Structure 1
């Protein structure tokens, strides 16, 4: 029996251990010879379907602290879009840089780059130095690839100088039939969830948790008003639930009437359409325009909840950052984890320094935060935000959907899982939580077609 057949048949750990490793496996990957295919092309016209390939790559040898995971499902994140567009840098540069560390890191410098920073699946091999995990364990994979022997990691893995984003700055990521991860990236899979639901957690769920709840983020309190940009997307879907679950007041900003309904379903107390406040892609280019948009937004928030927001949940970047800095209250916090509309932010600094506001940079989550986040899904307090799934063979279409911002929530990718809905190992607990509670985006699934 092949290893893949053993995994799909639910074989016992000893059978998985006896099944021979394949020499190669199917993976979504980039090719180094394509690095310049978008030369001279405007960013918006770089169609990721041209650069994303699905095919065989060789199986690497495991380092002592690594595991091989049979990936049942993964999902698309915006870093998959960046990778496939080769911007702002080709991720092959990351692989070459990592390989210069020497030793096991040299395996990552290949003429292919297997992408994917999310994953759920079954551990099928463990390195000689792995202690806490065994073959047969069901896991989700955190994207925080850190050096657990570095002193800073003992305080917070995200402070590690060697911290890398798995499947973006490393090779052998989660959009594949098999993936290589460090043992320090693993978290038990929430038993009530399917493979694709569990795979939607790590990047967006963990990132939102650190930003809002973790002691190195905004430290949201009960009653805090939280402005959430993109409240119907992957990050926003989890932010809205975490705010509501933590006793905060979620104010979501979205881009269409349809997404307004989605944001409310996810827990936003107030939902504002971007058109209502005049925010476009170029709003952030002029600090004066950002302040004017911020005044309009602030007026709507005060009208609806009576106060200015305590926290702005930022990941949009250039188009909205100046508005966020303006609109949070005196002493308020802007917490940011990304810049999907551009990295170079302009804002009127008077509203930051004279009103004693804070800007906090946040990136992924450390292992403790990821574990705490996953526990909320296990309890049914936060629900997966999967709206649509694609087979691995169609990962280009899935990534294109995210590239064009035509998605809601998270876009899942089935890797070895032959169909959605598999992998639930606690059906009684799932029934107690309730199918409707666990699938909040199901009524809107048709919205992601095309």
Structure 2
């Protein structure tokens, strides 16, 4: 429980043990396992959140009590297994929105009033309890002392991207204070792990915040370590600022940082899913860095978006005519390679890969002699098949890349703050519809990024530098929202 707190819903319905069914057939026990009453938005007051919305100063925010409960989107431990035997694992059944308890703050942590969060594919994995239920991560974390035990709960507040305002800081926090407007990095690193001093991602204890930890961004408040905070780009709205870091930082590490493919000027880079969360930022980074992006998309509409980002060479995968097997067809790599050479005259030196099973064989095939396939995920399946002759005999490399370190997160947000990389936000949902937002990502009914308004009351709030925004232009900032 939060120290010196007060119930935000003092007049709300008392906690009981009865169940209430949501519109997707799931049941949510009221008041059980640390959950609040599930009172709908608008029936409770939160003076601190209201003060944040009204632009209160840091000292004013410190003087307002921290609530003991807040609204958030979460999964439930007692619902693990609800999708067994179901072909359609609809995340709207497993994602609930209601009140949860505010945890005690550790000395190196901050409480952030979340104005907006974003949906990433790890939210989908959490909500379908695959490849393993994330409660296993929380249980493991819970064995590391009281700070970890706070996370091992019967509910899991999800979300690994967000933006908001710092409202509390732990006693050991030096560089941040209430009132600071920030975006959130999902890399959760233990500063006492020696590996983190070489590269935060090499720490054996590194975790994905909001996926392997509790109290993520999909709520009115979240709990973060101080080394997850980054200054908010001043020209962006809350929903724009909170939708970038996970995908933009991952793409930056894969392509630009010292731990990835280390792209150089003139490199031809094949980008799968060029209008997806990762691909949409990869396209910009390649173009800005003097590379030659070749984007792969699945429709003419998506092709037009990629071209509007400055990507001259675009392949509609449906035009490859590969039949029912699609990109797993034995000749897919050859057909794709022919199309790439037709467009740019050579094979790609780098393949930006995150789709996995469906595309990996073709990725290994099309990379040029000595080329690199850099991969950070497998959204179409983890078990890959490829012809190893094309790897070893042509001296190619596969580079595994996971997340990004704090420096890389700050660097890519600097590019965003300078207006050199732009948000790729396409849809915005209210917190009460977090399940629908996650379903849109699960079923690929989106381009770019999907955001969820948490503390912000409407879209368009949070801009601190309207002059810079005007210079950049709404056309670039809202390209994915046409």
TM-score by length of 2: 0.89
Partner of residue 404 from structure 2, selected from 362, 365, 384: 365
Partner of residue 133 from structure 2, selected from 76, 80, 90: 90
**Would you say 1:246 and 2:289 are equivalent positions?**
yes
**Would you say 1:27 and 2:72 are equivalent positions?**
yes
Q: State how 1:101-120 maps to structure 2 within 5 Å.
A: 101-120=144-163
1:83-135 deviations in Å (ceiling 9; x for gaps): 11111111111100111112311100001000000010000000011111111
How far residue 432 of structure 1 moved from its aligned partner, in angstroms, is 1.8
How far residue 155 of structure 1 moved from its aligned partner, in angstroms, is 1.1
Residue 389 of structure 1 is matched in structure 2 by: 428
Q: State how 1:13-412 maps to structure 2 within 5 Å.
A: 13-42=58-87, 45-278=88-321, 289-290=329-330, 292-412=331-451
Once superposed, what is the RMSD of the aligned Cα atoms? 1.2
How far residue 283 of structure 1 moved from its aligned partner, in angstroms, is 5.0
Kindly indicate whether the alpha-carbon contact (under 8 Å) linking 1:124 and 1:135 is maintained by their aligned counterparts in 2. Answer: yes
How far residue 196 of structure 1 moved from its aligned partner, in angstroms, is 0.8
**Would you say 1:438 and 2:468 are equivalent positions?**
no
CA distance in 2, matches of 1:138, 1:281: 49
CA distance in 2, matches of 1:284, 1:103: 48
Kindly indicate whether the alpha-carbon contact (under 8 Å) linking 1:278 and 1:293 is maintained by their aligned counterparts in 2. Answer: no
Residues 339/282 of structure 1: CA separation in 2 closer, same or farther (3 Å cut)? farther
CA distance in 2, matches of 1:136, 1:280: 56
**Alignment coverage as a number of residue pairs:** 437
Residues 280/262 of structure 1: CA separation in 2 closer, same or farther (3 Å cut)? farther
1:46-103 deviations in Å (ceiling 9; x for gaps): 0000000000000001100000000000111001111111111111111001111123
Q: 1 or 2, which has the higher helix percentage? A: 1
Residues 279/171 of structure 1: CA separation in 2 closer, same or farther (3 Å cut)? farther
CA distance in 1, matches of 2:57, 2:308: 40
CA distance in 1, matches of 2:105, 2:120: 26
Kindly indicate whether the alpha-carbon contact (under 8 Å) linking 1:148 and 1:184 is maintained by their aligned counterparts in 2. Answer: no
How far residue 282 of structure 1 moved from its aligned partner, in angstroms, is 5.1
SS in 1 for 2:75: strand
Kindly indicate whether the alpha-carbon contact (under 8 Å) linking 1:312 and 1:334 is maintained by their aligned counterparts in 2. Answer: yes
CA distance in 2, matches of 1:279, 1:89: 33
Residue 9 of structure 1 is matched in structure 2 by: 54
CA distance in 1, matches of 2:478, 2:265: 26
Kindly indicate whether the alpha-carbon contact (under 8 Å) linking 1:380 and 1:438 is maintained by their aligned counterparts in 2. Answer: no
Residues 281/371 of structure 1: CA separation in 2 closer, same or farther (3 Å cut)? farther
CA distance in 2, matches of 1:127, 1:387: 35
CA distance in 1, matches of 2:378, 2:140: 23
How far residue 281 of structure 1 moved from its aligned partner, in angstroms, is 8.6
Residue 21 of structure 2 is matched in structure 1 by: none
Rg comparison, structure with higher value = 2
Kindly indicate whether the alpha-carbon contact (under 8 Å) linking 1:284 and 1:345 is maintained by their aligned counterparts in 2. Answer: no
How far residue 14 of structure 1 moved from its aligned partner, in angstroms, is 0.7
How far residue 252 of structure 1 moved from its aligned partner, in angstroms, is 0.6
In structure 2, list runs of 5 or more residues that go unmatched: 1-45
